[in-house]
Amino acid sequence: MQEIVVGRKKDNLFIRDAGYIGRYIVGEGEDIHLTSKIYLDFQKPHVILIAGKRGSGKSYAAGVILEEFLELEEKVKKEACFIVVDPMGIYWSLKFENKEQKKMLEEWNLKPKKYKDVKIIIPAPVAQDYKQANIPYDDVLTLSLSEFSANDWILALNLNRNSEEAITLIKIFSKLPAEYEMDDIIDAIKDDNSITQKVKNYLLNVFTSVNTFNIFSRKGLKLSDIVEGGKVVIIDVSRLQGDEFGLKNLLVAWLARKIYHSRLQSRKLEESLKLKGEKIEKKFPFVWLFLEEAHNFIPSQGETTSTEPLLTIAKQGREPGIGLVVITQMPNKIHSDVLRQTDIVFCFRITSKEDIEALHTIMQTYVKEDIEVMLSKLPKFPGAAIILDDNLERIIRIQVRPRKSWHAGGTAVI
């Protein structure tokens, strides 16, 4: 069997600008064996779903994809940037080699490797904790408060748009200067005598509490401080507090908006240069946005601050050059519009009826067999999956290759 490039049309299977992610699984039961190499296309952006139960290998596979991007030729790699929003705190280990699985790597003719083109960004308040744990980081995360509107906070706080709290927020934000800090919001709430004491107390409690997390400032990180061609950028939000105020969703919303508009502008410039016959130089690289625990950022039910910006990328991001990778244990909790836009699905072991039904909704006409039956035929060890590829219009059974770098997301044991 010839080598396979997932994500490419049948007439473009040359192994160029693609990453080696595993081997094809043939047979069943005791007759199972591995054959041809399987690659993942990096030439164009994709919308990829990686789904599976805890411990099935989905985050491990995402790490393999990141490694393979970092293995690309320099002239190709510098054209793109992979950004990982990591609420689990596991991807920093790309900077360390996988000595624990050295023997397994040898069986695959691979060697342990640590990667230098990895940038780790962490929340400013936990920098000292990282230093004490000898976990490397490259920058601290702060956001400009004035990047967020009253509507963002209404969604983040899960307020009814017609509630007195939401209406008051809109009024308060309309009076703020172009650039403002938390003290400006707090002072505006205190000084407005038209607000009822109940609402005033609630809003003061919210913004005073948010202020203690030290994540917002007048001049936060710019997107240009984060995005860099040829890099994997890990935004480790595992220690970012304030889930009750939707801070992680605010971050993802900001990232998605900025990435989309930056690539849209860059694409227009690239097309203009192409029409003139001039050399095309990307002012802003292609971006692949990875979302761990993605059901928290783009849920099937309700709306979060990050829902609309992520839907825009899922529906319209391929043309300007933005890929989206959503990783979840619960595909039924992912917004249906995102599921409909996926062109590649990595499905590891799943047993929940609701999750299997969610995957059935995105299966195409070329899928003749029930997905539950296909999953039951997989080997029972981690890293075995089926790939639904809308580009090749086929189902592929894969054993994901071992990680070259250390995987920090394994199950903790005594």
Interatomic CA distance for residues 369 and 405, integer angstroms:
36
Q: Provide the terminal-to-terminal Cα distance of the chain, rounded to the nearest Å.
A: 43
* Token pair 């919210």 in the structure block, residue: 206
Residue 273 is predicted with a pLDDT of: 76
Q: What is the mean pLDDT of residues 6-13?
A: 77
* Token pair 């904790």 in the structure block, residue: 129
> Cα angle at 124 between 119 and 127, to 5 degrees?
75
Closest Cα to residue 290, out of 61, 135, 117, 14?
61
Highest mean pLDDT range out of 118-122, 266-270, 275-279, 368-372?
118-122
- Whether residue 247 is predicted with pLDDT greater than 80 in this model: the reply is yes
| Rounded percentage of the chain residues whose pLDDT exceeds 70 | 95
Residue 366 is predicted with a pLDDT of: 56
Interatomic CA distance for residues 49 and 29, integer angstroms:
27
Residue 363 is predicted with a pLDDT of: 67
The pLDDT tens digits for 100-159 are: 999 999 999 999 999 999 999 998 888 888 888 888 899 999 999 999 999 999 999 999
The answer to whether residues 249 and 156 touch, using CB atoms and an 8 Å cutoff, is yes
Interatomic CA distance for residues 119 and 94, integer angstroms:
10
Q: What is the mean pLDDT of residues 81-100?
A: 95
Single-letter residue type at 372: E
The answer to whether residues 4 and 36 touch, using CB atoms and an 8 Å cutoff, is yes
Q: What is the mean pLDDT of residues 288-312?
A: 96
